[in-house]
């Protein structure tokens, strides 16, 4: 199976950032002949602090994503946190993503399926890979056509994640498309004084380890200036480094 790549800023910050990322993704897509999905969130409803930046919101955010698709022709992925967001988001994006903490929310899964779009379910930090058969069953029994699963690590004590790469093999027994979230898996949840920390230096190794275990897709949050990103900066990959990481995987 040809691998797919998902990349983009954690949250929609500005059109300047989105344009810079989209231009690089188009270059990578053309250079390597692979499918690259542009990812950004219109609302990060699960930030650590109430004072953290959440994004432009549903209406404005979807318009900005639509503008990216119109300008660059890239397929789109975004996440939803509430059932009512599924229908409008499904009119714009190609893949609806279910956040890890919400992967067992039946109404959210069914609302995503009803759009007819691909549904990407991120594995919860508290579940095994094998446990993900149940969210997938909900989607398929509701008429879902294509479901992806994404590995993003498990809680390992406080403020830490560990990746059991056997989860990739286990989830491939459930669905053929299993994504490795190479950036969220290096997070230090809540470990940076009211926000999430991370170790972006481990991202390339996470990707290569996932390849060894049979991943069929790779997810990278990227930013032109990660140290000044408005969400998830410590675990985001610098945009300039993305090309070499994808080259190593191919």
Q: Residue 91 sits in a domain of what CATH number?
A: 3.20.20.70
Number of domains the chain is built from? 1
- Higher-confidence residue of 53 and 74: namely 74
Whether the per-residue pLDDT at 30 is higher than 70: the answer is: yes
Whether the per-residue pLDDT at 12 is higher than 90: the answer is: yes
Beta-carbon count within 10 A of 11 CB: 24
- Residue 169 CA to residue 84 CA, distance in Å, equals 33
Q: Are 214 and 169 in contact (CB under 8 A)?
A: yes
Percent of the chain with pLDDT over 70: 96
pLDDT tens per residue, range 136-160:
999 999 999 999 999 999 988 888 8
What pLDDT score does 199 carry? 79
Rounded-to-10 torsion of CA 239, 240, 246, 249: -120
pLDDT tens per residue, range 174-193:
999 999 999 988 877 765 55
Residue 230 pLDDT grade (very low, low, confident, very high; cuts 50, 70, 90)? confident
What pLDDT score does 157 carry? 81
What pLDDT score does 77 carry? 98
What pLDDT score does 192 carry? 52
Q: Which residues contact 175 (CB under 8 A, 6 or more apart)?
A: 136, 147, 148, 149
Q: Are 108 and 102 in contact (CB under 8 A)?
A: yes
Give the pLDDT mean for 3-10: 96
Note if the pTM is more than 0.85.
Answer: yes
Task: Please give the residue range of the domain that contains residue 121.
Answer: 4-249
């Amino acid at each position: 199976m040809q691998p797919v790549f998902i990349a983009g800023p954690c949250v929609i910050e500005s059109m300047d950032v989105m344009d810079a990322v989209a231009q690089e993704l188009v270059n990578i897509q053309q250079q390597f002949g692979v499918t690259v999905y542009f990812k950004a969130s219109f609302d990060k409803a699960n930030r650590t602090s109430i004072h953290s930046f959440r994004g432009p919101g549903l209406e404005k955010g979807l318009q900005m994503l639509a503008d990216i698709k119109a300008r660059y022709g890239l397929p789109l992925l975004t996440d939803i946190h509430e059932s009512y967001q599924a229908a409008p988001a499904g009119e714009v994006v190609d893949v609806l993503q279910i956040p890890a903490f919400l992967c067992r929310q039946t109404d959210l899964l069914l609302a995503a399926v009803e759009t007819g779009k691909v549904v990407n379910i991120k594995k919860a930090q508290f579940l095994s890979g094998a446990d993900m058969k149940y969210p997938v069953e909900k989607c398929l029994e509701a008429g879902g056509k294509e479901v992806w699963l994404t590995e993003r690590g498990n809680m390992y004590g406080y403020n830490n994640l560990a990746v059991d790469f056997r989860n990739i093999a286990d989830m491939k027994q459930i669905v053929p498309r299993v994504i490795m979230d190479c950036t969220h898996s290096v997070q230090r949840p809540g470990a940076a004084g009211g926000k999430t920390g991370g170790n972006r230096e481990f991202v390339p190794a996470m990707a290569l380890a996932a390849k060894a275990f049979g991943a069929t897709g790779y997810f990278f949050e990227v930013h032109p200036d990660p140290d000044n990103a408005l969400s998830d900066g410590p675990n985001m990959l610098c945009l300039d480094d993305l090309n070499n990481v994808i080259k190593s995987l191919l």
